[in-house]
Structure 1
């Protein structure tokens, strides 16, 4: 599952990081939609959710997912799965609930389908790595809120 999600993410980076026409179309539609709510620039090239920010999150998630294949680094895979799930939750919702639609590039919905595949695989990894995630969150809780004596 980690390999599938990483493969999809890493393949998409060539579009995001080269400012390909397909990427311009997608993020342009999203930015126009955001502008209608007064958030112009949110998805622009220098925006908070630009293709470069999203691509960097996908690259980081891919690295964690792949490194986590090694048994000694399972916790990293759990974190990578959370990042992938968050990014793909956004992608799937933007495809469904904005003017972007499920076929923004006239590819028969292929891009949307791949987002759903990554969403499900990352969710599956979260379920598989739930013990690792529980340990991570327990460690964070102990660090941020130490027990008082």
Structure 2
């Protein structure tokens, strides 16, 4: 389904969701890629420094690009949902809601991304199903 086949209201809502998720991902990339002390602390705590920090940053960058590409926003949402689920898991099991006195900001941003990506996948489910079918049918490429 082409993005322009949506109603104006749905298109605006989808763009708000996509921009919110991509914006949060892109903002945190600076900290991951520059090895900011907070980011290094988080990934050391979960035993994934530096590979987890850099790897998740690369996946989040890919998710952001796809979220900003309307025909592939479903793929960005799927990548984003997967990576942010890991972040939420570690917040709930190892890091805690509050990390280094941030008042829970990182956790709440992760929840925001989770909700945005889930909503995008639900609203773009027909595109996602078609996209997965196309990916599985490699003869079409």
Residue 125 (structure 1) shift: 0.3
Question: Who is 2:3 aligned against?
Answer: none
Residue 141 (structure 1) shift: 3.5
2:43 to 14, 17, 27: 27
> 2: CA distance between counterparts of 1:10 and 1:27?
18
Query: Bigger radius of gyration, 1 or 2?
Result: 1
Question: Who is 2:18 aligned against?
Answer: 2
2:129 to 106, 130, 134: 134
> 2: CA distance between counterparts of 1:17 and 1:142?
35
Aligned residue runs from structure 1 range 10-49, under 5 A: 10-31=26-47, 43-45=48-50, 47=51
> 2: CA distance between counterparts of 1:102 and 1:122?
20
Does 2:119 correspond to 1:124?
yes
Question: Who is 2:12 aligned against?
Answer: none
1:83 to 74, 79, 88: 79
What is the TM-score with the length of structure 2 in the denominator?
0.83
Question: Who is 2:68 aligned against?
Answer: 66
Does 2:47 correspond to 1:51?
no
What is the TM-score with the length of structure 1 in the denominator?
0.79
Q: 5+ residue gaps in structure 2?
A: 1-16
How many residues of Structure 1 are paired with residues of Structure 2 in the alignment? 123
Structure with greater proportional helix content: 2
- Native 8 Å contact 1:25 1:104 kept in 2: no
- Native 8 Å contact 1:81 1:126 kept in 2: yes
Moved over 6 A (4+): none
> 1: CA distance between counterparts of 2:83 and 2:137?
27
Q: 5+ residue gaps in structure 1?
A: 32-42, 69-73, 145-149
